[in-house]
């Protein structure tokens, strides 16, 4: 029996796999977790995704649908002794579904203890994490578990969960609640995919609102706004989402979508990531815009200097200037492509022999070695150029730089290169 003083989100936890809200790509009929449950052939798994989207719900629903005992521990705070107690229970009962929260923080001692019990099937381990398990989970553990990524819930998913809570005896069915559509929409939208947050805010709204003269508890938009507030923006500088935002930021600028670029800039600003933003903008200016608009790179450097001197919140202004400038600039990756091709040749051992006339001749005896002999000094010739081979003989015809055609400056460089080749 669930106590009414337990949080609403806890009381509404699904008891069967069919009760889970969202994640239909995993628990929908015919999908992988649904099939495991139907066949009662469970394997250990890692559920990966942001908070409040159903990791614990899926684990408890799996246990409920298969009549397995269900236990929950935290990898960071619970001890090896706690794990031993659950293993003892599994040895007695046959199998236990263990939800291990923050599995990415499981230390080696606990991991080594668990591994044989995973392999024997006595423990069906369901690891929950907000961190990318391919990056943050030990390979020995990861290799014994299937990895499933959970998706943020949609507004419609959250509205469904809220309506269930209002009508369910485990939830708020004892309260004469009516909620208008605008309030329901606000709970769903402001939760930003987190059903737990929306449910807990709804419970506060219902329990703190007096009945009207008709004996009803009416939840309006104003009440929803007050109880929900705006869901706090979460930003973990070491987390997986942090790197996803940086990646989306650069790709949006590269793709010339100025609005998306400003959105991801805003997320980094709210997270206080001034140094990260500045470093990434420098990379973008030279990697993605490059020679198509060299002046944009210069302006970016100035904007970054200004942002560092100003600090937040004013730093957002020069940073926004730079992002808009870079997003709407012509793009070229000819420079990075050229240097990467040259580095690839060097790493492959294609260095070759430097022509003798290019070698250092600023020491006594260099002429005896013919170093520097025959070198043509370009400034002694018309237009400060003379035809002369500079690459090693084995790479004589290698062309690393291939100009793009999007910027006037780069086209001019290519025209000059072609002119020199004809001389």
Measured CA to CA, the distance from residue 157 to residue 52 in angstroms comes to 12
pLDDT for the residue numbered 230: 60
Where exactly does CATH 1.20.272.10 map onto the chain?
Answer: 240-327
pLDDT for the residue numbered 370: 78
Where exactly does CATH 1.10.3710 map onto the chain?
Answer: 351-421
Give me the residues paired with residue 218 across strands: 178
Where exactly does CATH 3.40.50.300 map onto the chain?
Answer: 22-149
Considering the entire predicted model, what is its pTM? 0.63
pLDDT for the residue numbered 232: 46
CATH 1.10.8.60 fits 155-228, yes or no: yes
Query: Which residues in 211-276 belong to E strands, given as ranges?
Result: 217-219
Please tell me whether residue 397 adopts helix, strand or coil conformation.
coil
Q: Which of 273, 51, 284, 279 is nearest to 153 (CA)?
A: 51
As a CATH number, domain 240-327 is 1.20.272.10
List CB contacts of 35: < 8 A, sequence separation 6 or more: none
DSSP letter (8 states) at residue 29: T
Q: Which residues of 275-306 are buried (b: 16+ CB within 10 A; e: fewer)?
A: ebbbebbeebbbbbbbbbbbebbebbbebbeb
What dihedral angle (degrees, nearest 10) is formed by the CA atoms of 323, 325, 326, 327? Answer: 80
CB 208 within 8 A of CB 170: no
pLDDT for the residue numbered 4: 64
- CA 110 to chain centroid: 28
| Torsion angles phi and psi, residue 322, rounded to 5 | -65, -45
Give me the residues paired with residue 124 across strands: 97
CATH 2.40.30.10 fits 22-149, yes or no: no
- On the question of a cis peptide bond just before residue 313, with omega within 30 degrees of 0, the verdict is yes
Measured CA to CA, the distance from residue 2 to residue 168 in angstroms comes to 13
Where exactly does CATH 1.10.8.60 map onto the chain?
Answer: 155-228
Measured CA to CA, the distance from residue 292 to residue 409 in angstroms comes to 6
Residue with tokens 């796999």: 17
pLDDT for the residue numbered 125: 92
List CB contacts of 21: < 8 A, sequence separation 6 or more: 14, 54, 57, 153, 157, 158, 160, 161, 164, 195
Q: How many CB atoms lie within 10 A of CB 38?
A: 13
Measured CA to CA, the distance from residue 117 to residue 129 in angstroms comes to 21
pLDDT for the residue numbered 1: 47
pLDDT for the residue numbered 292: 92
Residue with tokens 């290698």: 398
As a CATH number, domain 351-421 is 1.10.3710
Q: What is the mean pLDDT of each run of 10 residues along the chain (423 residues)?
A: 74 89 92 92 90 86 86 90 91 86 89 89 89 84 90 90 93 93 90 88 94 92 86 55 86 94 92 89 95 94 92 91 94 92 88 82 74 85 86 86 83 84 78
- CA 378 to chain centroid: 51
Please tell me whether residue 46 adopts helix, strand or coil conformation.
strand
């Amino acid at each position: 029996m669930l106590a009414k003083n337990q949080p609403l989100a806890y009381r509404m936890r699904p008891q069967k796999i069919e009760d889970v809200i969202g994640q239909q790509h995993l628990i929908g009929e015919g999908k992988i977790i649904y099939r495991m449950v139907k066949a009662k052939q469970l394997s250990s798994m890692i559920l990966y995704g942001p908070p409040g989207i159903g990791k614990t719900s899926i684990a408890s629903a799996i246990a409920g649908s298969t009549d397995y005992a269900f236990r929950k521990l935290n990898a960071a705070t619970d001890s090896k002794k706690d794990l031993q107690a659950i293993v003892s229970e599994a040895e007695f009962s046959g199998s236990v579904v263990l939800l291990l929260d923050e599995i990415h923080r499981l230390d080696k001692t606990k991991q080594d203890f668990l591994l044989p019990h995973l392999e024997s099937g006595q423990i069906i381990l369901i690891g929950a994490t907000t961190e990318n398990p391919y990056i943050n989970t030990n390979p020995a553990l990861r290799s014994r578990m299937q990895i499933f990524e959970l998706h943020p819930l949609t507004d419609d998913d959250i509205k469904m969960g809220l309506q269930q809570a209002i009508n369910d005896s485990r939830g708020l069915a004892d309260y004469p609640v009516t909620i208008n559509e605008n309030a329901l929409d606000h709970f769903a939208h402001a939760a930003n995919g987190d059903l737990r947050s929306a449910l807990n805010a709804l419970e506060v709204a219902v329990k703190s609102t007096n009945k009207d003269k008709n004996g009803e508890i009416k939840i309006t938009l104003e009440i929803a706004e007050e109880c929900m507030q705006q869901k706090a923006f979460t930003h973990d500088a070491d987390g997986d989402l942090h790197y996803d935002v940086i990646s989306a930021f650069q790709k949006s600028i590269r793709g010339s979508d100025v609005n998306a670029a400003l959105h991801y800039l805003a997320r980094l600003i709210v997270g206080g990531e001034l140094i990260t933003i500045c470093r990434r903008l420098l990379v973008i200016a030279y990697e993605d815009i490059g020679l198509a608009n060299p002046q944009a790179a210069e302006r970016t450097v100035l904007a970054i200097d200004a942002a560092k001197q100003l600090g937040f919140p004013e730093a957002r202004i020069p940073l926004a200037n730079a992002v808009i400038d870079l997003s709407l600039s012509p793009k070229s990756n000819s420079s990075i492509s050229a240097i990467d091709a040259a580095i690839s040749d060097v790493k492959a051992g294609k260095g070759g022999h430097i022509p003798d006339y290019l070698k250092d001749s600023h020491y006594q005896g260099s002429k005896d070695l013919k170093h520097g002999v025959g070198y043509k000094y370009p400034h002694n010739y018309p237009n400060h150029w003379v035809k002369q081979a500079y690459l090693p003989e084995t790479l004589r015809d290698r062309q690393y730089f291939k100009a793009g055609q999007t910027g006037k400056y780069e086209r001019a460089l290519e025209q000059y290169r072609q002119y020199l080749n004809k001389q």
